Every structure is written in C-alpha cells, then in structure tokens.
Amino acid sequence: MYQKFKKLGKDSMVYMAGTLISKLIGFALIPVYTRIFSPQDYGILDIVSISSVIIITVSNLGLTTALSIFYFQTEDQNNKKTFISSNFIFSIFINVLICALVIIFSRPLAITFLKNADYAKYLILSVLAIPFSAIINFGSGLFRLGLKPIKYFYIILGNSLFGVVLSIYLVIFRKMGLQGALLSLLISSIIFAVISIYLTKHHFNWKFSSQKLKLMLKVGLPLAPASFMVWIMDSSGRYFLAHFRTMSDIGLYSLGFKFASILVLITAAFRLANAPFQLSIASEAQAKTIYAKTLTYYLLMTFFVAAGLSMFSKEILSLLTSPDYINSYKIIPPLTFSFIADGIYQIVGIGLLISRKTQYMTYGVIAGALAALGFNALLAPRWGILGVAFATLLAYAVGLVLIYFWNQKYYHINFELKKIFKLLIFSLGFIILSFLSYFLLTPLPMIIFKSFLMIILGLIFYFSLEINERNKIWFLARNIFRKIKFRLGYK
C-alpha cells in the first residue's frame, strides 16, 4: 500500500508543481490588474470570464469522465484510439456549435444576465477562445490518463506563462484595457491548442464511431448535469451580486475567490493524480483501505493550508492589491473550505463510479446547486459578498452529505470520520481566534500570535497521525534531505 501512495504522491507533486507555477504566474496579474482596473472593471472581466466557463461546462456532457473509464477498460490500442478520436471530434463539434450560438445572441445575453449591452463585445472575445481551450484541456487530459504528468506540466505552464506575458504587454504597453486581457487569452489558447494536438497526435486514429460515442454518452450523460450544477455552486453568486449589488462587489468577490483558489494548488493537483489512481486500483484487495486513507491525508493537507490562508489573508492582500480591494479578505475562510469540499466529492464518491451508480453523483450535485440558488437569494441581498461566500460553502456541504450517504449505501468505505471531525474543529477554532486578534492586537503582535497558532495547529495535525505514518514522514524527509545534500556536493 505504501508503494501505491508513493506513486500517487510523486504524480501529485508534478501536477502540483504545474498548477503551482501556473497559478503563481496568474497571480502576477493581480498586482497589475488591481492597480490598473477599478473593482468595477475587475468585476466585468470576472463575470464575462465565468459566463464563458459555463459553455465549456455544458458542452463536456460528461465525456471526460466517460473517456477515463473506457481508457482503462480497453486493452486493444486501436479501439482505445477510436474511443479517443470519437470523443474528441464530437466534443469540439459541440463546443463550436454552442459558441456560435452565443456569439449570434451575445447582445440579448449581455442585457439579460450582465445588465449591460456594452458587455457583449467582451463576451464575444471570451467565447472565441473556448474551442481552443477545450482542445488544450483534452490534450492535458490524455497526458493524465497516460500517466504522463511531465508533459501535462509543460502544456499548462507554457499556456499560463505566454498568456500572462501577452496580457501584460497588451494591457500595460498597448493600453488595450479589458479587451487586451481577453485578447491575450484567445491568442494563447490558439497557439497551445495547436501544440496540444501535435503532442498527442499518436493517441488518435481519427476514426469516428457512433457506437463507441453512444457507450461513452451512456456513462457520461448522467454526469453532465453535475458539471453544470458545480458551476452553479461556484459561480451563480456573481449573478446575484450583479442583480442585487454592483459590479464593484463582483470585483471584490472575484479577488477573494482568486486568492482562496490558492488552495486549488493542492486540491486540483491531488484530484488530477487521484482520478486515474483510484480507478487503476479498484480491483485490488486493499482498495477501500487506500480510499479511506486518501481522504484523511487530503484533509490533513488542505485544512492546514486553508487555515494559513484564512489567518494571513488580510496581510497578504494588503501587500498585493490596492486599498480598494482589502475587504476581500473576509470571504477567504468560507471559500477555502468550499474548495476543500469540491475535492472531497471525487474521493467519497469513488464507489458510485466503480459500481456504475453515477446518477447519484448527479443527484447530489443537483441538490447542492439548488441549495446554492436558495442560499444566494437569501444571503446575497443582505450580506453581499460574505453572503455569497457562505452560500457557496453551504451548497457544497449539502451535496457532499448526500454523495457520502449514497456512496456508503452502494460501496461502503470505513472513512476515519472521528479523526476528520477533530481536524476540522481545530482548524475552524484557530481561524476564529486569528480573526478575533484583529480587534485585540496591534499588527506585529498579531502576526506573531497567528504564527504561533499555525505552529500549534501543525503539531496537532502531526500527532493525529499513527506512529507508522509519522515514521514514514520522517523517512521521506531524511531521504529528501540526503538527496539535497548529495546534489549540493556534501556526503
């Protein structure tokens, strides 16, 4: 079992490095954008971007997950290539069709959802990049399925770096404003879509099989509404802010959301490595034990990072942004735990995939999406961005509880719930203490106090592990230290 986790850890580290560097590159735009764009402009950029995300979400039709299942179940290489080619051709066709419709009706859509017809031009620029982004996502997905994290790393890193450099050039030096920011995304997507096709060309035989497509749609379609519902949980709050508040509120929420998404450096990397890992060991005797430990280790990492982000959010935002954006720190805690919950769905719902009960994943996420709409309608008018942040967290909690219940019904796993709840209570308690320090301490003592809290929390998490698990950590740490010494020339 240790070797299995070692493999998962190595792949996760590569994915994490790619996600980390691309996120850090993306975060380089925050000091630039928050000093060039007002919160209102930042809000416009954000809501146009998330409006285009819904197209990618809807057009996927669950085919990404379906392909991953048939990829591992198909041994004949030619058949595997036909599955891949059929999936790709159909996916790109659907993307292009939906994008064309959005462009044709961009003006009425902008009036209806964004409350301003002038935003149609921004919506068109954002939508044009979608088919090319879909090609990049498909190519990076093939690298994950083929357990090629290094190639995934190069594609993600290259696209992020080129896009950010071009954005800075167009926004700062060419003075193109919001249009420059969106145009940079389009150009970068086109270039790296071509690169992705070139690097993955050996995976295709370019044969389209309607029979194989039907098999994938049969598995994927029950999951398709789930992806849309996840988008509702993540993003629908912006539209409630647009209706009840202002674009400036959306700008503040967007910045807080981006900062909280630092947690995605762990959750996304872990999820990218974990998805093929979980399916590849499903037939092994120790599978359920590994799944249970996976959840515990995932929460150990994410709770600790979420606590750190929440405790020091105001200080970091004051360094990176202009004073107009500082109040975004208030929404960091609920949003970080929302990202954690999003990652848990895949872990606790693995039994529903293995037992082919994927419709229950959809039911759980639909419940979460409906809860998001209800909580947003209730909380956004009164509490603004803080209400939307808590509505997002509550929505994820509703879906998670249901998916956990159904997973246990069809594929029972003995998750370490007692330990998990203890970790959660300590994390939330320390975050609350850190926020109280804003009213009781001056800046320097407050930072020292928060640092002390993080050290204590780290020790609590460490001693929550079993003795053999702690020994493994020290063993890995000593190996890493020896390798570093050797490369530096010390013996």
**How confident is the model over 152-159, as a mean pLDDT?**
76
Whether 203 contacts 144, CB under 8 Å: no
Averaged over 289-295, what is the pLDDT?
86
pLDDT digits (tens, 9 = 90+) for 176-230: 888 888 999 899 999 999 988 888 888 888 888 888 888 888 877 776 777 788 8
CA distances from residue 408 to 144, 228, 403 in whole angstroms, order as listed = 28, 25, 9
pLDDT score at 224: 74
The per-residue pLDDT for 13 is: 52
Q: Could you tell me which residue, 8 or 420, shows the higher pLDDT?
A: 420
Q: Residue 166 in contact with residue 184, Cβ under 8 Å? A: yes
Confidence tier at 141 by pLDDT (50, 70, 90): confident
* pLDDT at site 303: 94
- pLDDT (0 to 100) of residue 489: 56
Q: How many residues does the chain have?
A: 491
Distance CA 469, CA 95 (A): 46
Q: How far is CA 337 from the centre of its chain?
A: 12
Say whether pLDDT at 284 is over 60: yes
% of the chain beyond a pLDDT of 70: 86
Average confidence (pLDDT) over 223-251: 85
- Report whether pLDDT(172) > 50: yes
Residues ≥6 apart with Cβ < 8 Å to 416: 292, 293, 295, 296
Q: Please tell me the predicted confidence (pLDDT) of residue 308.
A: 94
Q: Which residue has the higher pLDDT, 432 or 29?
A: 432
C-alpha distances (whole Å) from 332 to each of 259, 314, 337, 397 are: 7, 9, 9, 17
**C-beta separation of 169 from 163 below 8 A:** no
**pLDDT reported for residue 439:** 84
pLDDT over 60 (residue 44): yes
Q: How far is CA 30 from CA 112, 172, 325, 469, in A?
A: 29, 13, 11, 39
Residue 262, pLDDT score: 81
Q: What is the pLDDT of residue 469?
A: 74
Q: Higher-confidence residue: 222 or 486?
A: 222
Domain boundaries, the chain: 2-440
How many whole angstroms separate alpha carbon 9 and alpha carbon 294?
11
pLDDT of 483 higher than 60: no
Higher pLDDT pick, 268 / 230: 230
* Structure-token pair, residue 408: 């246990």
pLDDT bucket at 2, cuts 50 / 70 / 90: very low
Give me the pLDDT at residue 246, please: 85
Residues 245 and 71 sit within 8 Å (Cβ to Cβ): no
C-alpha to C-alpha distance for 474 and 125, rounded to whole angstroms: 51
pLDDT at 400: 93
pLDDT confidence of residue 487: 52
Q: What is the mean pLDDT of the chain?
A: 83
The listed range with the strongest mean pLDDT (7-11, 71-75, 116-120, 244-248) is: 244-248
Statement: residue 365 has pLDDT above 70? yes
What angle in degrees, to the nearest 10, is found between the helix axes of 63-73 and 210-220?
110
Angstrom CA distances, 45 to 178, 219, 318, 374, 446, stand at 7, 35, 22, 26, 35
pLDDT confidence band for 22 (50 / 70 / 90): low
Task: Give how far Cα 453 sits from Cα of 57, 108, 330, 437, Å.
Answer: 40, 52, 19, 11
Mean pLDDT of 300-323: 90
